[in-house]
Chain A
Amino acid sequence: MKKKVIVACGGAVATSTIAANKVVELCKNNGIDVEICQCRISEIASNLPADLIVTTSNVRRDYGIPLIKGMPFISGMGVEKTEANILKVLNK
């Protein structure tokens, strides 16, 4: 089944572009069929439903689906753990 991942940041300009690309690569390498929706934080709600939200900004709101911080894709620290968490959600 195709999974939908929302990748969001403040302006949908730089960091979510990077994070979205990383999620696509990760899914490709793990045989997961994925649809990515890149948007601003303020647009997350209107892009639901989805299986997962990955965000590079601080989000306090609960959207009722798993949310994973994509910061490691930018800082380079803790990437493996973040990737494992993403796979765990998408392989469910």
Chain B
Amino acid sequence: MIWEELDRALILTELEAENFEDVMKGLGGVVVKEGYAKDSYVQALIDREKEYPTGLDASGVGIAIPHTDISHVNKSGTAIAKLTKPVTFIQMGTDDEEVQVQLVFMLAVKDPKSHLAKLQTIITMIQDPEFLKKLIEADDIDNIIEIIREKEGTL
């Protein structure tokens, strides 16, 4: 289960960011600080986002799932940030279609094959706009974990 393995240190309820680079530095910085990724992780996220954007319009709710090459990662983890105001990301699979992102799921992936089930759970969850809206309205970490636990129980 995802919720059981969530590291509270990787959940930010109020991340202030002006642009996607601030998001990578803010949330990615925490991922590095907590030992999940190497120092090179943040810059790798920024470079990759420019080339292969990860913004998604999930039925009207803007989210992003930044991630980067496994060589920058020490161990797998999922970091979550709620942004204090929407930040412009480019939509995945496009060059220039913008999406206003409110919620970020940053994936530190060490071994994609063994994490397929978890990745799939995360992707399935973020396809539910009601779930995302609840997360955006959540005011603390306990609340966020509870919403994810509840959603996982329905899958």
Contacts and interface: CB of A to CB of B under 8 A. Distances in A.
Interface in B65-93: 65, 67-70, 92-93
A58 interface: yes
A57 B52 CA distance: 6
A18 B92 contact: no
Interface residues of B, number: 26
A14 B107 contact: yes
A81 B51 CA distance: 27
Interface in B93-117: 93-95, 107, 109, 112-113, 116
Q: Is the interface of A mostly helix, strand, loop or mixed?
A: mixed
A18 B121 CA distance: 10
Contacts of A17: 112-113, 116, 119
A76 interface: yes
Contacts of A12: 112
B39 interface: no
Most buried by A among B93, B120, B123: B93
Nearest to B124: A76
A15 B119 CA distance: 9
Interface string A53-92: 0011110000000000101011111000000000000000
A41 B127 CA distance: 24
Contacts of B141: none
Interface stretch (B14-22, B55-63, B146-154): B55-63
Contact of B67 (A14, A41, A75): A14
Interface string A13-33: 111011001000000000000
B113 A76 contact: no
B38 interface: no
B25 interface: no
Closest 4 CB pairs of A and B: A10-B52, A76-B127, A71-B93, A17-B112
Interface of A: 9-15, 17-18, 21, 41, 55-58, 69, 71, 73-77
